Amino acid sequence: MTTTQPRPEEQDLPFNVFARACPSRSTLEHVTGRWGALTLGALSEGSLRFNELRRRVDGVSEKMLSQTLHALERDGLVHREAQLTNPPRVDYELTPLGREVAQRLLSLIRCVEDSMDTVLEARERYDAARGAR
Amino acid sequence: MTTTQPRPEEQDLPFNVFARACPSRSTLEHVTGRWGALTLGALSEGSLRFNELRRRVDGVSEKMLSQTLHALERDGLVHREAQLTNPPRVDYELTPLGREVAQRLLSLIRCVEDSMDTVLEARERYDAARGAR
């Protein structure tokens, strides 16, 4: 179809993760990145303090967890609650939007976990076929 | 709790992405990695040839798409079909397991895309609060 109609301005286009410049792509990356996904998954069980989160997300460094939480807070998915106690206490919890996103992410995580027998069989077949060449 | 009970063998534990050494963590990363997620999303619309996929996944390099497809094929999520034509033709499509995983991934992607107005407002508030300090 040829048309002389002008392209709509960027802000009129629907958000689309397949488009390189769409801001939804960075949010998807914050949500699905290695530490983002595990952090949202951990917080879906309830609010946690930084060190509790760090233990739950096995293998994350302090710096990476801190960066991950900043990105999720900036996107409005995680709420940071600092209490003026001594020593100060900081809790992290999902926002309503964060809960919606985490619910879908957990459905995906459970699907992957439940599929691992099939995945490991597929890996064995793939490696055997490659080795036999 | 102290116990002398031996740890269960790894294969007896349920798959758990929160555990650093669990193989489900690498599969989750193949599925949710930047290019893995977009590749599964693109293939959920039907089988595609390599160059069609590359156009659909805006911004991916030939090398990264090739690596992504190998990882997804090895995990049993994508099927590679080479036809003995001249020139040879290679199609990629989701396996039944790949379709199950992609369905949940697309639900997450749509949720993120539909939430972007809220996300962008949150980013503005976050940046304004930081700038005001």
Domain residue ranges in chain A: 14-132
Among the listed residues B37, B30, B28, B35, the one whose alpha carbon sits nearest the alpha carbon of residue B112 = B37
Cβ(A39)–Cβ(A68) below 8 Å: yes
**A18 vs B contacts (CB less than 8 Å):** 38, 41-42, 56-58
Q: Does A13 touch chain B (CB under 8 A)?
A: no
Q: Does B13 touch chain A (CB under 8 A)?
A: no
In CATH, A14-132 is 3.30.70.260: no
pLDDT digits (tens, 9 = 90+) for A74-105: 999 999 999 888 888 899 999 999 999 999 99
**A19 vs B contacts (CB less than 8 Å):** 58
User: Any idea which fold B18-131 has?
Assistant: Arc Repressor Mutant, subunit A (1.10.10)
Q: Which whole-number Å values give the CA distances from B49 to A36, B22, B39, B90, in the listed order?
A: 31, 33, 12, 6
Other Cβ atoms closer than 10 A to B19: 15
ipTM > 0.90, yes or no? no
Q: Which pLDDT score, from 0 to 100, does residue A133 have?
A: 58
Q: Which pLDDT score, from 0 to 100, does residue A85 have?
A: 87
| A97:B119 CB<8 A | yes
pLDDT digits (tens, 9 = 90+) for A2-51: 444 444 444 567 899 988 899 999 999 999 988 999 999 999 989 999 99
Q: Which of residues 60-79 of B touch A (CB under 8 A)?
A: 73-77
**B77 vs A contacts (CB less than 8 Å):** 119
pLDDT digits (tens, 9 = 90+) for B66-114: 999 999 999 999 999 988 888 888 999 999 999 999 999 999 999 999 9
Quickly list H helices, B23-133. 23-32, 34-43, 50-56, 62-74, 96-114, 116-131
CB pairs under 8 A between A and B: 149
